[in-house]
Amino acid sequence: MPISEFGRVEEWDNWVKMPPQPQVNPKPEEKRRLSVEEPPTGVRAAVYSLLGLLLQVCIEWLVRLTGKRIRKSEAAWLDCVLGKPGVIGTGVYQRIAEEEKLGMSQPPDAGLIPSFESLRGPSFDPDRVDPRIRHFYEHTALYKLEVWSEVYFAGKFVLWLLVEFISRRMDQLNFPISSLEVAKGMTSEVVELREMASGRLAYTGWLRRFRATGKVIYAGLYSTAQIPGEANPCVKVTFPCFGSSNVYLRPCGYADGTFGLVSTGAAFGRSGFYRVVESGAEHWRVRNFKTLHEIFHLYADEDGILRTDHEITFVGLTILRLHYKMTPAKHAGGAGEVHKSLQAV
């Protein structure tokens, strides 16, 4: 059982308590039945399980056959939590805490990047970024998210294949195939995992789920890392799966105060998407997918509301676009609490 930073034993439960549904026709239980897809059973479940296993094995062997064999001691920037076969789900942070004997807590104002200053580099000045954007990254738990999605025809079948047969079995990386999946919103929970003796922050977790179904969209680990091919520190995002998917995002500050995170996949050691699997006790097999790119653009609109445009492309084709709206969460005291903490930025 993980132990909090205050020395108490915690049973950490990151399931959001949903408010009761209004009593209208159809009945609440019928509404839920209509909105939540039933898992496959019987023969269909066996077929899904077999296809999912085949796809997972194919991806793993693609990495093993075409990836670089990297000695762990020579590439600390690639070090990450590796997921095991099976369900990742909402309990991934608790499992990490138990395995690594870390304390786990959910500070009400926790951020993905405790200090935006950690991204400073020769070509990136965090002082030129809108303070509201900086505040979001340093105090992410104070915000709630609304999201809109659009899947493009070019990638719809591939994305459906991955989500239907792999992501749902893992309960991880359940990208929204239909915009209706995010119609009821997305949850946002930030958890800190710290060394119990020193209090050093080991990992920051950001869990996001479909509010309607509870399925995990992203269960990620956030940090900063200096990687060989980039002048500035990057934002490193790790998604434990069967092995790990690591995304290294290069920070970009624009003249109008807006902020970007970019993974272009130009070369090994640059920002991009890396798939990592174990290859013995001393090595990893690492595949850099140079044609898989992600771009985030954060800005405040004319009403001062924070928004993010997120685009994923593969071999030059747009696969998925997401748009996020970030506003003060009610549990954080609303806009007043955010405004007070912004004054300290």
Residues 6+ apart with CB under 8 A from 38: none
Structure confidence at residue 45 (pLDDT):
81
Q: pLDDT at position 151, please?
A: 95
pTM of the model: 0.85
pLDDT tens, 130-139? 999 999 999 9
Task: Using the predicted structure, report yes or no on whether residue 341 has a pLDDT greater than 70.
Answer: no
pLDDT (0 to 100) of residue 345: 52
Please enumerate in sequence order all residues whose Cβ is within 8 A of that of 268, keeping only pairs 6 or more positions apart, or say none. 68, 229, 288
* CA 259/CA 133 separation, integer angstroms: 7
Q: Residue 1: pLDDT above 60?
A: no
Type of residue found at 45: A
Which residue would you say has higher pLDDT here, 282 or 1?
282
Distance CA 155, CA 161 (A): 10
Say what percent of the chain tops pLDDT 90. Answer: 74
Torsion, Cα 144 150 154 155, to 10 degrees, reads 30
CA 155 to chain centroid, in Å, comes to: 20
**Mean pLDDT (whole number) for 146-161:** 91
- Residue pLDDT, tens place only, 81-102: 999 888 999 999 999 999 999 9
Exposure string (b/e) for 314-325, b if CB count within 10 Å is 16 or more? beeebbbbbebe
Q: What is the pLDDT of residue 343?
A: 54
In the structure encoding, which two tokens stand for residue 344, read together?
């300290």
Q: Is the confidence at residue 71, as pLDDT, over 90?
A: yes
Only one residue has tokens 């019987």, namely 42
Q: Please give the structure tokens belonging to residue 284.
A: 């990893």
Give the residue among 10, 4, 15 at the shortest CA–CA distance from 207. Answer: 15
Q: Is residue 314 classed as helix, strand or coil in its secondary structure?
A: strand
pLDDT tops 50 at residue 14: no
